[in-house]
Amino acid sequence: MDGVKRLIAWVQRTRAVRVFQRYSGQRGPILASGLAYQALFAIFAAIWAGFSIAGLVISGDQVLREQLISTIGGAVPGLIKTGPDSAGAIDPDVLLAAPAFSLTLVISLVGLLVTALGFLASLRDGIRVIFELPALTGNPVLLKVKDLVVGLGFAVVLVASAALSYFGTTATDTVLGWLGIGTDSVIGFVLTRVVTIGVMFALDAVTLVALYRVLSGVPIPFERLRGGAIIGAVALGVLKVLFSAAIIGGVGSNPLLKSFAVILGLLIFFNFVCQVILIGAAWVVVGLDDRGLVVDPVFLQKRILDARVLLADHGYASGRVLERRRGRLRIARD
């Protein structure tokens, strides 16, 4: 019996268990569900506006167009059709055929600003909740500008990843040609797939770093941030593979759900993505706690003072226990 108790105690001390305790204790599943709805509306507005503008550049370049569509399809499985027989909520040919400058574009841009900025603001608050920090205060206009810059940065990273994937695939095909290996061979398929997965992993890792450090406004040291970003990027990669292979096919094969299978699948996908983002944040904050690092000393001081007042109101001492704990904590710096 003592052995079982020791085993349970050891399991509860593991970092993975403490991460999920932090995630669930801060209402992570509820936060992820709300974020998933916002992400669904924001991504549709972003795709419509993005393709309306990108059509001016990529409509005449078939290779670049196919690579961009493939990159988006890999980042969000089921969002866009990547081929004539593929499942997708959006037909890229319809988007590219729409006029670049029209009332529809204006409406989609307004919708993009409202939904995307709202999603980023909610995501920032959700990450800060996992860190047990209050909502970021300051000039609301500057906060929206910051969110807009972050959103534009994500768009640039997406386009850059499409370009890198294109050049990487082209270079791989060239090397295989020199070696006399066909691109349709097993080796060619594996190498091309490795390049694609590597680019998507880098995209996810950079995105998570930007979310945890820039969007949230939490000054996390990079060495503490790196692990959470890598684990989150790996989890997102696995999620995309499983989602493409199982969820879309399983929902689409159900005749009762077939009419809205893709939308339902996307909602499920975004729910999982938001959970991965918040669990990654919990991984980072647990690592900070293990090192005794404080990312917001001002807020910590306020919590200590509030606790001291509460103790005084209940007739306890002046909070020497809290003061000793405070002495063991160090401020997180770069």
pLDDT at position 41: 83
pLDDT tens-digit series, residues 106-117:
776 777 788 888
Q: Is the pLDDT of residue 124 over 80?
A: yes
Q: Is the pLDDT of residue 134 over 80?
A: yes
pLDDT at position 326: 47
Confidence band (pLDDT; 50, 70, 90) for 84?
low
Confidence band (pLDDT; 50, 70, 90) for 245?
low
* Percent of the chain residues past pLDDT 90, beyond the cut: 14
pLDDT tens-digit series, residues 150-177:
887 877 777 777 677 767 777 777 777 7
pLDDT at position 274: 93
Q: Is the pLDDT of residue 138 over 90?
A: no
Rounded distance between C-alpha atoms, residue 256 and residue 251, angstroms: 9
Rounded distance between C-alpha atoms, residue 217 and residue 137, angstroms: 10
Confidence band (pLDDT; 50, 70, 90) for 280?
very high
Q: Which whole number is the average pLDDT over 185-210?
A: 82
Confidence band (pLDDT; 50, 70, 90) for 179?
confident
Q: Which whole number is the average pLDDT over 243-263?
A: 59
pLDDT tens-digit series, residues 21-48:
999 999 989 999 999 988 888 887 777 7
Q: Is the pLDDT of residue 324 over 60?
A: no
pLDDT at position 325: 47
Q: Which whole number is the average pLDDT over 190-205?
A: 81
Q: Is the pLDDT of residue 279 over 90?
A: yes
> Which stretches of the chain are DSSP H helices?
2-13, 15-25, 28-58, 62-75, 92-97, 103-130, 140-178, 186-209, 222-242, 248-252, 261-291, 297-313, 320-328
Q: Is the pLDDT of residue 93 over 80?
A: no
Q: Is the pLDDT of residue 257 over 60?
A: no
Question: What is the chain's mean pLDDT, rounded?
Answer: 76
pLDDT at position 278: 94
Contacts of 275 (CB under 8 A, 6+ apart): 28, 29, 32
Least confident of 4-13, 16-25, 73-82, 224-233: 73-82
pLDDT at position 272: 92
State the burial class of residue 171 (Cβ atoms within 10 Å of its Cβ: 0-12, 13-18, 19+): exposed
Packed helices 28-58 and 103-130: angle between N→C axes, nearest 10 degrees = 150
**Which candidate, 232, 246, 207, 215, places its Cα nearest to that of 284?**
232
Residue 181 to residues 177, 185, 187, 319, Cα–Cα distance (Å): 6, 7, 8, 72
Confidence band (pLDDT; 50, 70, 90) for 53?
low
Q: Is the pLDDT of residue 98 over 80?
A: no
Q: Is the pLDDT of residue 140 over 70?
A: yes
Enumerate the domain spans of the chain: 27-291, 294-334
